Structure 1
Amino acid sequence: MTSADLVLPPTDQQTPTAVHLRAPDEQSLDTALSDMQLLLDLHGYVIAVYPSSIAPAHERRLHTIRAVLESDRIALLKVDLPPLGVAVLVRQLRQLSICDFSAGVVASAARLLSHYIHSGALLNSVTKLDRVPVSLKAHAKSWVPGSQFGVLANPKPQLIKVGTGELDGPDFTTHLLVAKGQLQSDWVTKTVAPAWQVQEVHDVALPADSAAWWGTSKLIEFAAFLPDISLIYQLVSSVRREVCSWCGNELIGDRCGLCNAPLNPPESRTRGSAVLNQ
């Protein structure tokens, strides 16, 4: 994980913690390489999850480490979720890491699980929001004193003015994380949670990058997610597993989570087998 405040507390005693992969201004390249090699020696694989909003220098550092070590055992997963959503995904992958899945399946599961995380925020202004489409009408309303906006960034972008609509919620049982910034409101807990039939609400600290991601510090960020590891396990298990033609690791979906190579279409895999059998 590229930010320590995106490591949520474990839900049980078995869930492992995550390692903080520091930025270039916090750690030399030699030290970063040594630390990564140690992680590979201890665990065999490293799945590095980082948000799309990460500093370019930090992202380059991750790719440099992977290139220097020449290792397909390092997965670099760039996630286009708000900070709290990234934290939820990281915890779910931590939970999966102790199940009977290969590292390739766990890494590939990130894309699948992202679709089941409903990430949003309550904002007092959308004038600087550039992560979700904002209409000119919404921009104009943002200047009206007292206006508040409910925004959903994932799985499908949506923006409403509070009091004039509802955010589309999940059609499955969830828990809700709520991280309060410099905004006082009970809209998330008193309106969103009941409408989404949330079972439990948990308060957590607001990630440091949330204000920049949402364009304002006057916000309350929230994320609804599948809370039960048994359900997550069943979800991942239900997807057909393939073998990556490039690195040989297991994967689910259409792209390898470890080397990022796309899965060959069925006809290509069939032709390839025919050639080998000649």
Structure 2
Amino acid sequence: MADIPSTGHVGEAGARRFTMRGDGVGARSAAFVAFAGQEVGAGRKVVALYPAWQASDAQRAVNFARGSLRTDHIAGIGIDLSPLALSLVADQLAYLSPYLPPGVVAALCEELPKHLLAGAWLRTVSGLSTLPTSLRQHMGSYAPTVSFLAYCAPTAQVGRLRPAEVAAGLPFRPVQPVQLLYSTPDPGITGVFDEHLPRAVQPVATRLLPAQPLGSAYWGTAKYVEFVALSAHPQALAYAAGSVRASACSWCGEPMSAKPCPFCSANSTTGSAQTPRPGPAAAHGAHPRPPNGHPVPGENPVRHRDGRAGATAPTGNPAAPAPPEHHPATAAGPANGHAPPPGHGPLAPPEGPAFPGRAPQPDPPRTYSR
């Protein structure tokens, strides 16, 4: 819920965007309220993401939608990430939302940033207010040869760029192979960035994206190169989803990993609930699939729907048809009617023997990061 265009990194499974533009709060909220009404009326829940550093209009729109529709099936979640990282996380959530309960999708809003390295190269931090900075760093901004590396995920920190210490100073290294996305409003200033950060991260692929409209507002300057490094491992998203520990809400029953519940705001649980985990193909280049063609316990697989969303992702469709007996992604194309991102072919059938006499069990959740 902000003017944050998609990165296109997960193909067509992108989140629905609302730029929150217009004269007055009503005009800025109208499109989202209409969308939420359609999704709630169809029996789905909505997870609405918005930047925590620009939250007022989005919070008013979410509150108005919940009040006018008289429902608690809309959860508004603020995330303190840069525009490029927030855009990627929103699309990843839309990508996973058909295969996970709404409460787990909401919990992943906090979990997915822990598996990214996101930040920016900055020429100055004199206007930076979204990340913690020191007086010494502000004074250093006036020196002509000084620049900075600022990180917003997985931790928030700002430090002076020292070429010999870039690799050792990375707060997190995504699991190889790594993909690097970056954007800048001024392509002529990327020299220092190109010489140091890619060498430290060692990506197998690098993509230059158009600058985010809100990038200068977040970084406090137009002299920046914003980046996100993420793992392209085939099971990266599946391990991130499996690392969520959720308990059922005592009021609405949704799995939740933090109190209060993002939907009904209840502050108690009825016991632990095992987090469903997408199939092993839940990666950036292939749509997630349940193991051996069976739905993951505790979830309602959702077929393709128009206007699907992740930043405002309708989840948990009880009216969705049951999955077919064969594997949902075959040579005819992946599930939900989406084509895989360029460079990725159709998924192969699952390997290994069948499960005679018993239902398949998901693997124990593991945190796939280091």
- Summarize the Cα distance change of 1:190–1:55 in structure 2 as closer, same or farther, 3 Å threshold: same
In the TM superposition, residue 21 of structure 1 has moved relative to its aligned partner by: 5.9
What are the equivalent positions in structure 2 for 1:1-278 lying under 5 Å apart?
1-3=1-3, 5-13=4-12, 15-20=13-18, 22-23=20-21, 25=23, 27=27, 32-42=32-42, 44-54=44-54, 56-98=56-98, 100-163=99-162, 165-166=165-166, 167-171=169-173, 172-173=175-176, 174-182=178-186, 184-228=189-233, 230-252=235-257, 256-264=261-269
The SS at the match of 1:6 is coil
Aligned partners of 2:183, 2:258: CA distance in 1, in Å? 32
In the TM superposition, residue 121 of structure 1 has moved relative to its aligned partner by: 0.8
CA contact (8 A) 1:24 1:58 kept: no
Structure 2 length normalisation: TM-score? 0.64
Name 2:366's counterpart in structure 1: none
Name 2:327's counterpart in structure 1: none
Aligned partners of 1:262, 1:190: CA distance in 2, in Å? 49
Structure 1 length normalisation: TM-score? 0.83
Relative to its length, the structure with more helix (as a share) is 1
- Summarize the Cα distance change of 1:50–1:229 in structure 2 as closer, same or farther, 3 Å threshold: farther
In terms of mean alpha carbon deviation, does 227-236 or 242-251 score higher? 227-236
In the TM superposition, residue 227 of structure 1 has moved relative to its aligned partner by: 3.6
Gaps spanning 5+ residues in structure 2: where? 272-370
- Summarize the Cα distance change of 1:53–1:149 in structure 2 as closer, same or farther, 3 Å threshold: same
C-alpha distance after superposition, 1:55-75 (max 9, x if no partner):
523422222212222222211
CA contact (8 A) 1:239 1:253 kept: no
C-alpha distance after superposition, 1:198-223 (max 9, x if no partner):
23211111211110111101111111
In the TM superposition, residue 133 of structure 1 has moved relative to its aligned partner by: 2.1
CA contact (8 A) 2:7 2:87 kept: yes
Aligned partners of 2:265, 2:231: CA distance in 1, in Å? 26
Aligned partners of 1:252, 1:78: CA distance in 2, in Å? 16
- Summarize the Cα distance change of 1:260–1:24 in structure 2 as closer, same or farther, 3 Å threshold: farther
Supply the AA of the counterpart residue of 1:134. T
In the TM superposition, residue 142 of structure 1 has moved relative to its aligned partner by: 0.6
Greater relative contact order, per chain length (Cα 8 Å cut-off, separation 6+):
2
Aligned partners of 1:52, 1:91: CA distance in 2, in Å? 17
- Summarize the Cα distance change of 1:189–1:96 in structure 2 as closer, same or farther, 3 Å threshold: farther
C-alpha distance after superposition, 1:23-65 (max 9, x if no partner):
4537266665333211323461211110012252342222221
In terms of mean alpha carbon deviation, does 33-42 or 241-250 score higher? 33-42
| Percent identity of paired positions between Structure 1 and Structure 2 | 24
- Summarize the Cα distance change of 1:255–1:233 in structure 2 as closer, same or farther, 3 Å threshold: farther
Aligned partners of 2:182, 2:35: CA distance in 1, in Å? 33
